[in-house]
Amino acid sequence: MRKINKKSQLKIQEMSFMLLALILFFVIAGLFYISLSASGLKKQASILQQEQAITLISKLANSPELSCGKSLCIDVDKLLVLKDRKAYQGFWDIEGLRIMKVYPYPTQEIECNAGNYDKCTVFTIKELNQSYLEEGTFVSLCRKETKDKIVYDKCEIGKILGGIKIRQ
Amino acid sequence: MRDRKDIRRYQNKTMKVNKAQQEIIGFVIIVLIVVIVGVIFLGISLQKDSGIETTDAEISNFLITTMRYTSNCSKDFEADYRTISGLISATYDGRSCLDGRKAEDVLKQELTKILDSLWTAGEEYKTKYYKLTIYFQTDTRDPNTRQEPKIVIENGNADLCAVRRAGQYSIDDPPGAIITRLEICKEAE
């Protein structure tokens, strides 16, 4: 009788260890899967945040203060005027606003002013707060030019850059 | 009598060993099945990530702004410069610039310069590969009506693609439209 009892106890023990091992295995596998899917979510969240920032910055490019009349088009003449107006510093609901000429210009950053209008590459409208990340999108930079006394629109490729909050 | 007892003992022992072996084999089979299912599941979920091509706001915005870029190809008089979208239409109409250059050649030249400058592609860059195609589609709602591309500009190595993004811009040309499509391949994010 004792022998039988011992045997069954051993069997129960064996079974419980087996169950424990199985549960442990599934828990570890589950944790592995959750961590994998969570990292995917983080990636998706950062992509969405970036897309949101681009949409917000695109809206700024379409505001009447900057727009040349078409979507994603900035009037460079307006930029020169806006740049020196201190009253507009608090106007933009964004941390930092810069407009860069990217083609056909060198990558070197030269701040624009009335004197170097056609050789410069950057218009800083609002200084970037250091705790913010700069994100941007492509825009047309158009201005009036004259050739043989005929005025025409000259459009180049630029980027509008704005500061977005860095989420941890 | 003794021999019989010995035989029974031996049989009992071998039966116990057999049972234990069976249990171990069963456990190994279960673990193997779970691992195989896990690997297949992981493989499928990882494949999903790398193969899908997504439309990208940055590429679409790039195409919009590129279409407005003023080229050095004059139309009727010196200051009447064509934009890139104007050059595309002129290419399909077989027109030339005021100085005699073919609109198609100027378009290719300008687009190559813009793409090389803004989406520099190669193994050492973030952009691994790009491909720009310009084609005519007779029915804008039906991709099967797409004609052979007139212009194809590509650079980089398509085999290094990890994240594939694309955008397109269409110019109305009744009864269809001229479509400019840009596909960009980047390194894994």
Which residues in A lie closer than 8 A to residue B73 (C-beta atoms)? none
CA atoms within 13 A on the CB side of B65: 30
Beta strand B127-137 pairing with A122-126: unpaired
Interface contact B70-A155, CB threshold 8 A: yes
Residue of A nearest to B35 (CA): A29
DSSP alpha helix (H) spans, B52-155: 57-67, 84-93, 103-118
pLDDT, greater one: A22 or A142: A142
Question: What are φ and ψ of residue A38, in 5° steps?
Answer: -65, -40
Which residues in A lie closer than 8 A to residue B62 (C-beta atoms)? 138, 157
User: Residue B53 above 70 pLDDT?
Assistant: no
Classify A136 as helix, strand or coil. strand
Contacts 24+ apart (CB under 8 A), B18-25: none
Q: In what order do the strands lie in the sheet with A122-126?
A: A73-75, A132-147, A150-165, A97-103, A122-126
Confidence of residue A127 (pLDDT cuts 50, 70, 90): confident
Classify B177 as helix, strand or coil. strand
Interface contact B68-A103, CB threshold 8 A: no
**Inter-CA distances, B79 with A150, A151, A153, B85, Å:** 7, 8, 9, 17
Interface contact A147-B58, CB threshold 8 A: no
pLDDT, greater one: A83 or B113: B113
Exposure string (b/e) for B129-164, b if CB count within 10 Å is 16 or more? bbbbbbbbbeeeeeeeebeeebbebebbeeeebebb
Domain boundaries, chain A: 1-168
Residue of B nearest to A150 (CA): B79
In this prediction, residues B151-166 reach a mean pLDDT of 90
d(Cα B94, Cα B42) in Å, to the nearest integer? 52
User: Residue A129 above 60 pLDDT?
Assistant: yes
In this prediction, residue B48 carries a pLDDT of: 56
Nearest in space to B105 (alpha carbons), one of B118, B113, B96: B96
Q: Which residues contact A115 (CB under 8 A, 6 or more apart)?
A: none
Q: Which of A153, A157, A160 to mutate to test the interface with B (most CBs of B within 10 A)?
A: A157
Q: Which residues contact B67 (CB under 8 A, 6 or more apart)?
A: B83, B84, B85, B88, B169, B171, B180
d(Cα A101, Cα A110) in Å, to the nearest integer? 10
Helix (H) or strand (E) holding A159: strand A150-165
Q: What are the start-end ranges of the E strands in chain B?
A: 53-55, 70-74, 81-83, 127-137, 151-156, 163-173, 176-186
Q: Which of B45, B61, B112, B186 to mutate to test the interface with A (most CBs of A within 10 A)?
A: B61
Rounded to an integer, what is the distance from CA B181 to the centroid of its chain? 12
Query: Which of A11-20, A73-82, B62-71, B159-168 has the highest average model confidence (pLDDT)?
Result: B62-71
In this prediction, residue B81 carries a pLDDT of: 95
Nearest CB to B61 within list A70, A137, A152: A137
Confidence of residue B54 (pLDDT cuts 50, 70, 90): low
Which residues in B lie closer than 8 A to residue A29 (C-beta atoms)? 34, 38
ipTM of predicted assembly, 2 dp? 0.73
In this prediction, residues B139-159 reach a mean pLDDT of 90
User: B57-67 and A2-61 are packed helices; what angle lies between their axes, rounded to 10 degrees?
Assistant: 20
Residues on B contacting A at a C-beta cutoff of 8 Å: 27, 30-31, 34, 38, 42, 45, 49, 57-58, 61-62, 64-66, 68-70, 77-81, 83, 113-114, 117-118, 189
Question: What are φ and ψ of residue A59, in 5° steps?
Answer: -60, -40
Which residues in A lie closer than 8 A to residue B70 (C-beta atoms)? 152-156
pLDDT, greater one: A16 or B117: B117
Shortest Cα–Cα distance, A146 to chain B (Å): 8
Nearest CB to B65 within list A55, A104, A138: A138
Q: How many H-runs (helices) and E-runs (strands) does chain B carry?
A: 4, 7
Domain boundaries, chain B: 1-51, 54-186
Interface contact A147-B79, CB threshold 8 A: yes
Helix (H) or strand (E) holding A117: none
Interface contact A137-B114, CB threshold 8 A: no
Nearest CB to B57 within list A22, A137, A142: A137
Report which DSSP code applies to B142: -
Which residues in A lie closer than 8 A to residue B42 (C-beta atoms)? 36
In this prediction, residues B24-33 reach a mean pLDDT of 81
Q: Which of B68, B70, B71, B125 to mutate to test the interface with A (most CBs of A within 10 A)?
A: B68
**Identity of the amino acid at A15:** M
What is the gyration radius of the CA atoms in chain A, in angstroms? 30
Residue of B nearest to A33 (CA): B42
d(Cα B126, Cα A122) in Å, to the nearest integer? 23
pLDDT, greater one: B94 or A7: B94
d(Cα B46, Cα B50) in Å, to the nearest integer? 7
d(Cα B154, Cα B182) in Å, to the nearest integer? 10
In this prediction, residue A56 carries a pLDDT of: 84
Interface contact A156-B70, CB threshold 8 A: yes
In this prediction, residue B168 carries a pLDDT of: 92
d(Cα A55, Cα B61) in Å, to the nearest integer? 10
- Give the pLDDT confidence of B82-126 residue by residue, as tens digits: 999 999 999 999 999 999 999 999 999 999 999 999 999 988 898
In this prediction, residues A93-115 reach a mean pLDDT of 85
In this prediction, residue A84 carries a pLDDT of: 77
